[in-house]
C-alpha cells in the first residue's frame, strides 16, 4: 500500500510545459523537436521536491551504437532517490560548505544539499543535462554553479567538502578516471558519497581505489520504492568515504 512507502515518487504531466520548453529550447538539438517534459514529484519526509524531466527518453537518443550518446542524464536513477533521502534525513551543512555533484544528470541529491544550506556545483559532460538540472534547482529555490566537464579531462576546480557520485561508476572503462577526480577535488577531512544499486562495477572500482591510509569508510542502505510495475524496489548502497585530515600530501 502506497502510504507505507518510505519514499514515494510520482510523475504527472507538467502543467506549465510551454514555458519550460521555451526556456530549454536553446540548449536542445535544433534538428529535433524540443523534448516534452513531465513533472516528477519527489516526496521526502516532510518535503516535496518538484523536478521537470523529459517525457520521452527515446526521443533524445541520436545514436544507439554510441554509449556516450545514450541520454542517461535525462532520467532520475534509483540511486539518486536513495542518496537524496539519506542526505535529507542525516546530513547537515555549515553555510559555507561546498558540494560537487559529478555526473549530476537531473541533480536531485545536489539540490537536496542546496536545500539544506550547502553551496552547490552541478557537473556533467552534457550541457542539456546541466541546463535542465539548473532549471530544476532554481524551481526549488537553489542556485547552483555549473561545471561542464568530462571525467577524462576533469579540471582540479577546488577542494570541495562533499562530492556526490550517484550511479556514475557503472562503466569499467570510465571508472579509472573517477579516482583522480575524487583525490584532487576533495579537501582533507571531506567526504564522498558513492550511491549505487549494488553494481558489480562499482564494488570493483571501490576495491581497487580505496586506500585505508587516506580514507575511512562506512556503508548505509536506503530502500527505494518506485511506481514501476517491473522494478518497483531497489536497495541502494551509499558508500561514504571520509578523507583523513592529514592526507594532504598523500592524495
Ligand atoms: C546513470 S546517469 C546518473 C545520473 C544521476 N547522477 C542520477 O543518479 O540520476 C550517469 C551520468 O553521468 C554523466 N556522464 C557519463 N559519462 C560522463 C563523462 N565521461 N564525464 C562526465 N559526465 C559523464 C551522464 O551524462 C549522466 O548524467
- The model's confidence at residue 251, banded by pLDDT at 50, 70 and 90, is very low
| pLDDT, position 227 | 76
Per-residue pLDDT at 56 exceeds 60: yes
Q: How many CB atoms lie within 10 A of CB 36?
A: 14
Sorted by where each starts, the structural domains of the chain and their CATH numbers stand as 77-243 (3.40.50.150)
**Whose CA is closest to atom 20 on ligand 1?**
150
Question: Left (φ > 0), alpha (ψ -120 to 50) or beta: where does 46 sit?
Answer: left
Instruction: State in Å: Cα 247 to ligand 1 middle.
Output: 28
Cα(127) to centroid of ligand 1, in Å?
11
CA-170 nearest atom, ligand 1: 1
| Ligand 1 atom nearest to CA at 177 | 19
Q: For the residues 173-195, what does the mean pLDDT come to?
A: 97
- pTM exceeding 0.85: yes
Q: Are 35 and 17 in contact (CB under 8 A)?
A: no
Q: What gap in Å lies between CA 236 and CA 222, rounded to an integer?
A: 5
Q: What is the pLDDT of residues 205-247, one digit of tens each?
A: 999 999 999 999 999 999 988 877 778 889 999 999 999 998 7
Q: Do residues 135 and 23 make contact, with C-beta atoms less than 8 angstroms apart?
A: yes
C-alpha cell recorded at residue 197? 544499486
- Spell out which residues line ligand 1, taking CB within 6 angstroms: 72-73, 76-77, 79-80, 103-106, 124-126, 129, 150-152, 166-168, 174
**Ligand 1: centre distance to CA 57 (Å):** 15
Helix 17-25 to helix 127-139 angle (10° resolution) is 140
Amino acid at each position: 500500500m502506497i502510504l507505507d512507502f518510505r519514499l514515494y515518487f510520482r510523475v504527472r504531466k507538467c502543467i506549465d510545459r510551454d514555458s519550460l520548453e521555451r526556456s530549454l529550447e536553446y540548449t536542445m538539438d535544433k534538428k529535433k523537436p524540443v523534448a516534452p517534459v513531465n513533472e516528477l514529484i519527489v516526496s521526502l519526509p516532510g518535503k516535496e521536491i518538484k523536478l521537470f524531466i523529459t517525457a520521452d527518453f527515446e526521443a533524445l537518443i541520436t545514436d544507439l551504437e554510441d554509449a556516450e550518446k545514450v541520454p542517461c542524464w535525462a532520467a532520475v536513477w534509483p540511486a539518486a532517490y536513495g542518496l537524496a533521502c539519506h542526505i535529507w534525513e542525516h546530513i547537515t551543512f555549515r553555510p559555507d560548505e561546498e558540494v560537487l555533484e559529478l555526473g549530476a544528470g537531473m541533480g536531485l541529491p545536489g539540490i537536496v544539499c542546496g536545500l539544506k544550506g550547502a553551496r552547490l556545483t552541478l557537473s556533467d559532460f552534457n550541457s542539456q543535462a546541466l541546463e535542465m538540472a539548473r532549471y530544476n534547482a532554481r524551481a526549488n529555490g537553489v542556485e547552483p554553479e555549473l561545471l561542464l566537464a568530462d571525467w577524462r579531462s576533469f579540471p582540479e576546480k577546488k577542494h570541495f567538502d562533499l562530492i556526490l557520485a550517484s550511479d556514475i561508476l557503472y562503466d569499467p572503462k570510465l571508472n579509472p578516471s573517477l579516482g583522480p577526480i575524487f583525490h584532487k577535488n576533495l579537501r582533507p577531512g571531506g567526504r564522498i558519497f558513492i550511491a549505487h544499486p549494488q553494481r558489480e562495477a562499482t564494488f570493483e572500482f571501490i576495491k581497487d581505489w580505496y586506500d585505508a591510509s587516506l580514507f575511512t569508510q562506512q556503508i548505509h542502505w536506503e530502500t527505494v520504492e518506485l511506481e514501476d510495475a517491473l522494478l518497483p524496489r531497489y536497495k541502494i548502497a551509499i558508500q561514504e568515504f571520509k578523507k583523513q585530515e592529514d592526507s594532504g600530501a598523500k592524495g
